[in-house]
Structure 1
Amino acid sequence: MSAEEGLVILDTFLKKSLNEVQELVFRKAWEGQTYSEIAETSGYDANYIKDVGSKLWKLLSQILDEEVTKSNFRSVLRRRSRRTDSAESQSSVFQIKSQNAQAVLRNYQQLSKERGEPEIISENRGISSFSLETRELEPKKSLILNSDFLEIPSGSVPLNSYFYVERPPIEERTYAEINKPGSLIRIKSPSQMGKTSLMHRILGYARQTGVQTVLISLQRADSQVFTSLEKFLRWFCANVSRQLNLELRLDDYWDEDIGSKVSCTLYLQGYVLQQIDSPIVLALDEVNRIFEYPEICSDFLPLLRSWYEDASELEIWRKLRLVVVHATEAYIPLDINQSPFNVGLAINLSEFSLEQMQDLALRHRLDWAKDEAGVKNLAPLLAMIGGHPYLARIAFYNLGCQELTLEQLLEEAPTIAGIYSNHLRHHLANLQGHPELAASLKSVVTSVEGVPLEAIAAYKLESMGLVKLKGNRAIPRCELYRLYFREQLN
């Protein structure tokens, strides 16, 4: 039995999934690592990991109603697995235990009524379980239970989600970097590659180490905020103050004679950083929004860079740690020597490997993805979507809900009726606003061996995530884009 299978068994007893650190300890302990080794490889404090482990075994002991320790938890879960398998093979009645049991029961009753099938035998509204006669209802049991378990892929992956797949060594590198005084982490990639999900995990890790965090998403700013640099910087400082529960004292530090950038810097240095005893992690999400306003962008990005550089000379600025997140679709001719995008730790999120795709498939309880046979089954999907994290989540969610087969998914994927239609239509709309890029991409998707492109066009299409560059030639990022755009751009 693998750690993944152990987690699946454990999930049937838990009311909610383990959090990220609990799952980390579970996986590493399954591999036989000590608490010290887990702490060393994950970047956490050893005492903290030991405390998480101790509480985890106590939690499992309560849930499984027997003593669970770090040394015996594997054998406990193996025994539970055999017991469950035996019970399922000998009985045609199964027990469903969950907080929403009555809701699932009503779904069954409605389905049975609509399809003229046998009604549920018994119901006891006083307990959180009920019995059903299976026979012909067995396929629907799998469908309804898995749909309830699965997580609709929308936006970032929640911090405690069972469906977040790590991409080593990215997480470990960012956790180690955010521990450094005055650090700056830049996370960039095309849209829907997992930037915001990673950012939330960096902030979660920082909070666990006793650091205060501030998250500012530029996507939430009103349009009027971007009408001038002064309005934008005052909005920025107000957000920082509110999230740190500090009294707003902008007027005490703002001076039009010295300008907005100096006023903003003095406000953070002379007030915010002085008032807060602990370090602060300031995360800026959707920074690409500011690219739409060149006058503000050309002042604000160098300002971030100056704060990072001040940390090497002024102790007070070492309390500030920055995380800057932006999509690469937005191309803007920034002066590389004035922007913050050539300093700090650069993280460019990659696609999932075949192994990571298999991991995500198994988290969606897709048994056909197991072992070597599963690798072969997943290979066509990897070729179709190129390991794109969001596209993989959509695929496995739909497959887990049994709404379509893998063969149907692959056949319909590049069409306007497929599950990726919204994603593809978004890219098509962007291309239609830039005819020169559409023409360049058309030459790529209609070529067998790839084509050389003009440098700026190649950079933009690669930044949009539509092509890969091999030497001087561009090829489609994946088969999905080749098939869809070859049809649409004609």
Structure 2
Amino acid sequence: MNVEEVLEAVEQGLLLRQLSPVERFILRQSWMGHTYSDIARDSSYCSAHIKEIGSRLWHDLSEALGERVTKKNLHLVWNQFQENYTGNEQSTTPKDLRTDTVAKDDFSPLFTHTQIKFPGSPLPLNSPLYINRPPIEELACAEISQPGCVIRIKAPKRMGKSSLLNRMIAHAKDLGYKAVSLDFQEADTAIFSSIDKFLRWFCINISKQLNLDSKLDDYWDEDMGSKVSCKIYFQDYLLELIDSPLVLALNEVNRVFEHPSIAQDFLPMLRLWHEQARTLDIWQKLRLVVVHSTEIYVPLKLNQSPFNVGLALQVPQFSLEQVQNLAQRYGINWADTSAIAQLMAMVGGHPYLLNVALYHLSRQDMTLEHLLETAPMLTGIYGHHLRGHLEILRQDSQLVSSLQEVISALDSVELEAIAAYKLESMGLVQLDGNHAKLSCELYRRYFRKQLYQEDELSVSSVAIFNR
């Protein structure tokens, strides 16, 4: 039994809860024989904190297994537990703990169908549908304890960035930190009309979330300028008043990219704040988390960009094993991986597309064969999702022509940078530099038909007009 199977068994069969990223890190490292000193060094936590969390984890496992579990006897106790049930037809091992093939009729989902919500929103902290993608959770939660750190999380829309961010924020609060999350999608368009208006909105929102009075007028000085005023407001007011580190999570920063005049002032300001931590202790309180769905396409000098410092994390697609794990959590047991392979051939490892499919399959709304046949159709389960993308494309002829070029190509093709980044942000293409290839077969089939039909209609309209 490998460590990933142990982690899955502990979460699904023994403790019936999602382990925190740090608990998973400790269990994984302990299983591999690492000492607490090794774990502390690799995670950037102090040994005392690692031992405290580890002690609680061994206590929970001891209660679940009915035998004392320690870091040193973990392998022994687990192997004995497994041996006690091997070959026993009347095994009382929890169904979800078994790693061998389980008959579908014997499989118990982690929750009832009435508890399943349609995918699309960030997953609650206690959701059994959250799939860890090692080592990003462990790395992020370890880095967040570093003074003055910057963590950059990048992935296309609906890849699970917000769910990961929520878990990082919860972990920060567990450490006793203050945490503020700003989503730039919530900002009115008028907020981006000037850097002064934008930074005042920025400071007011952070103050409100910290339950502090907004005292902008006491610190804002027109002669010093907005960026200096914003810095002083943070340094002399916000950071001075709070008695713990502050995690500032900035979500959907790509919205800022769309306003170059704002981005060229705001992003270098974040970089400067990060560098202030080298010389001023008070700035070590600030830990920045920057989340975006595409590469930055606003020109910045290398020494002014916050996107080439700190820890960079890319949220990956699900692997076949992770999809199998997710299917089991929906109550679907695909012992034969050919069914998973068929689904992934259509939608790849995209978390949202996979969750939508598994949601319908778990409710027995349709068979897998019918789902795959109708998936690229407007009447299929992805109809709303696909129409939403189509509406965005219709507003930008360059995006349409770029996507058509990718669809028609046998291999990846080089695209104009901004078009490439926008298509990547939508999740329609995967990039290697400026070279793009389609994300999945679903998009090829749907957009090849839709965009081709629109081209034909456009040509016909021109011909009729010219008669």
> TM-score category by the smaller chain?
0.7 to 0.9
Asked if structure 1 preserves the Cα contact closer than 8 Å seen for 2:248 and 2:288, the reply is: yes
State the partner residue of 2:12. 8
State the partner residue of 1:389. 351
- Per-residue deviation, 1:47: 3.7
State the partner residue of 1:244. 210
- 1:312 is aligned, of 275, 278, 285, to 278
Cα pair distance change 1:275/1:351, threshold 3 Å:
same
- 1:215 is aligned, of 151, 174, 181, to 181
State the partner residue of 1:380. 342
Asked if structure 2 preserves the Cα contact closer than 8 Å seen for 1:384 and 1:479, the reply is: yes
Asked if structure 2 preserves the Cα contact closer than 8 Å seen for 1:190 and 1:464, the reply is: yes
- 1:342 is aligned, of 295, 301, 308, to 308
How far, CA to CA, are the matches of 2:124 and 2:36 in structure 1?
Answer: 26
1:82-97 mapped onto 2 (5 Å cutoff): none
State the partner residue of 1:399. 361
Partner of 1:489, secondary structure, is helix
Cα pair distance change 1:46/1:274, threshold 3 Å:
same
Asked if structure 2 preserves the Cα contact closer than 8 Å seen for 1:150 and 1:400, the reply is: no
Cα pair distance change 1:58/1:81, threshold 3 Å:
farther
State the partner residue of 2:199. 233
Amino acid at match of 1:334: P
Amino acid at match of 1:378: I
Asked if structure 2 preserves the Cα contact closer than 8 Å seen for 1:218 and 1:290, the reply is: yes
- 1:479 is aligned, of 423, 441, 461, to 441
State the partner residue of 1:122. none
- 2:298 is aligned, of 333, 350, 354, to 333
How far, CA to CA, are the matches of 2:110 and 2:207 in structure 1?
Answer: 46
Amino acid at match of 1:443: E
Q: Is residue 434 of structure 2 the alignment partner of residue 468 of structure 1?
A: no
State the partner residue of 1:357. 323
State the partner residue of 1:124. none
Asked if structure 2 preserves the Cα contact closer than 8 Å seen for 1:9 and 1:77, the reply is: no
Amino acid at match of 2:13: I
- Per-residue deviation, 1:19: 5.2
Asked if structure 1 preserves the Cα contact closer than 8 Å seen for 2:36 and 2:47, the reply is: yes
- Per-residue deviation, 1:68: 5.8
Q: 1:125-175, CA deviations, whole angstroms, 9 ceiling, x for partnerless residues? A: xxxxxxxxxxxxx98997996414545422222233322222233223323
Cα pair distance change 1:311/1:8, threshold 3 Å:
closer
1:363-374 mapped onto 2 (5 Å cutoff): 363-368=329-334, 370=335, 373-374=336-337
How far, CA to CA, are the matches of 1:74 and 1:464 in structure 2?
Answer: 46
Q: 1:91-116, CA deviations, whole angstroms, 9 ceiling, x for partnerless residues? A: xxxxxxxxxxxxxxxxxxxxxxxxxx
Q: Is residue 380 of structure 2 the alignment partner of residue 418 of structure 1?
A: yes
Q: 1:281-311, CA deviations, whole angstroms, 9 ceiling, x for partnerless residues? A: 2111122233344433332222212212222
1:199-214 mapped onto 2 (5 Å cutoff): 199-214=165-180
Cα pair distance change 1:50/1:409, threshold 3 Å:
farther
Partner of 1:352, secondary structure, is coil
How far, CA to CA, are the matches of 1:435 and 1:391 in structure 2?
Answer: 26
Asked if structure 1 preserves the Cα contact closer than 8 Å seen for 2:297 and 2:418, the reply is: no
State the partner residue of 2:161. 195
Amino acid at match of 1:166: N
Partner of 1:367, secondary structure, is coil
Q: 1:9-55, CA deviations, whole angstroms, 9 ceiling, x for partnerless residues? A: 336xx5x6555555666666677777666656655554444444544
Cα pair distance change 1:412/1:50, threshold 3 Å:
farther
Cα pair distance change 1:176/1:59, threshold 3 Å:
closer
Asked if structure 1 preserves the Cα contact closer than 8 Å seen for 2:204 and 2:214, the reply is: yes
Which of 1 and 2 has higher RCO (CA within 8 Å, sep 6+)?
A: 2
Cα pair distance change 1:161/1:44, threshold 3 Å:
farther
- Per-residue deviation, 1:444: 2.4
CA-based RMSD? 3.6
State the partner residue of 1:285. 251
Q: Is residue 117 of structure 2 the alignment partner of residue 147 of structure 1?
A: no
Partner of 1:341, secondary structure, is helix
Asked if structure 2 preserves the Cα contact closer than 8 Å seen for 1:43 and 1:175, the reply is: no
Cα pair distance change 1:310/1:196, threshold 3 Å:
same
Higher mean alpha-carbon deviation, 382-391 vs 393-402, is at 393-402
Q: 1:58-81, CA deviations, whole angstroms, 9 ceiling, x for partnerless residues? A: 5567678x5564554675688699
State the partner residue of 1:298. 264
How far, CA to CA, are the matches of 1:377 and 1:411 in structure 2?
Answer: 14
Consecutive unaligned residues of structure 1, counting only runs of 5 or more, are 89-137
State the partner residue of 1:429. 391
How far, CA to CA, are the matches of 2:350 and 2:372 in structure 1?
Answer: 15
1:129-140 mapped onto 2 (5 Å cutoff): none
How far, CA to CA, are the matches of 2:280 and 2:357 in structure 1?
Answer: 50
State the partner residue of 1:115. none
Cα pair distance change 1:52/1:229, threshold 3 Å:
same
Q: 1:228-259, CA deviations, whole angstroms, 9 ceiling, x for partnerless residues? A: 43332222222323333334332221112222
- 2:221 is aligned, of 252, 255, 265, to 255
Cα pair distance change 1:61/1:178, threshold 3 Å:
closer
TM-score normalised over the length of structure 1:
0.75
Amino acid at match of 2:173: R
- Per-residue deviation, 1:476: 1.6
Count of aligned pairs between the two proteins:
432
Cα pair distance change 1:464/1:269, threshold 3 Å:
same
Cα pair distance change 1:299/1:140, threshold 3 Å:
same
Asked if structure 2 preserves the Cα contact closer than 8 Å seen for 1:146 and 1:400, the reply is: no
Asked if structure 1 preserves the Cα contact closer than 8 Å seen for 2:252 and 2:293, the reply is: yes
Amino acid at match of 1:415: M
Asked if structure 1 preserves the Cα contact closer than 8 Å seen for 2:257 and 2:297, the reply is: yes
Asked if structure 2 preserves the Cα contact closer than 8 Å seen for 1:18 and 1:162, the reply is: no
How far, CA to CA, are the matches of 1:50 and 1:404 in structure 2?
Answer: 49
- Per-residue deviation, 1:266: 1.0
